[in-house]
């Protein structure tokens, strides 16, 4: 896979992850179920779907951000 395609794929995955996480939080708020999702972090470890989703999304975003641009 080319470097530029990989950067686009990572950027796309990060965007989809952010949309999914925001949608899940919105759905939990709509159903008045958000408080049952807390705490997100306990003893420096992610807990629950929101915690793990946040960690995964931030990692994908950072990887997409630092992925090198191709030299032409």
Question: Structural domain of residue 42, as residue ranges?
Answer: 3-66
Token duo for residue 4: 């530029």
DSSP state of 69: P
Single out the residue of 17, 8, 19 nearest to residue 64, CA to CA: 8
Task: Give how many domains the chain has, as a whole number.
Answer: 1
Give the model's confidence band at 44: pLDDT under 50 very low, under 70 low, under 90 confident, else very high. confident
72: in domain = no
Give the model's confidence band at 1: pLDDT under 50 very low, under 70 low, under 90 confident, else very high. low
19: in domain = yes
Say what the pLDDT of residue 67 is.
81
Mean pLDDT score of the chain: 85
42: in domain = yes
């Amino acid at each position: 896979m080319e470097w530029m395609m990989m950067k686009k794929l990572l950027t796309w995955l990060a965007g989809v992850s952010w949309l999914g996480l925001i949608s899940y939080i919105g759905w939990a708020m709509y159903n008045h179920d958000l408080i049952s999702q807390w705490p997100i972090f306990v003893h420096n470890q992610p807990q629950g779907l929101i915690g793990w989703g946040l960690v995964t999304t931030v990692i994908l975003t950072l990887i997409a951000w630092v992925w090198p641009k191709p030299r032409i």
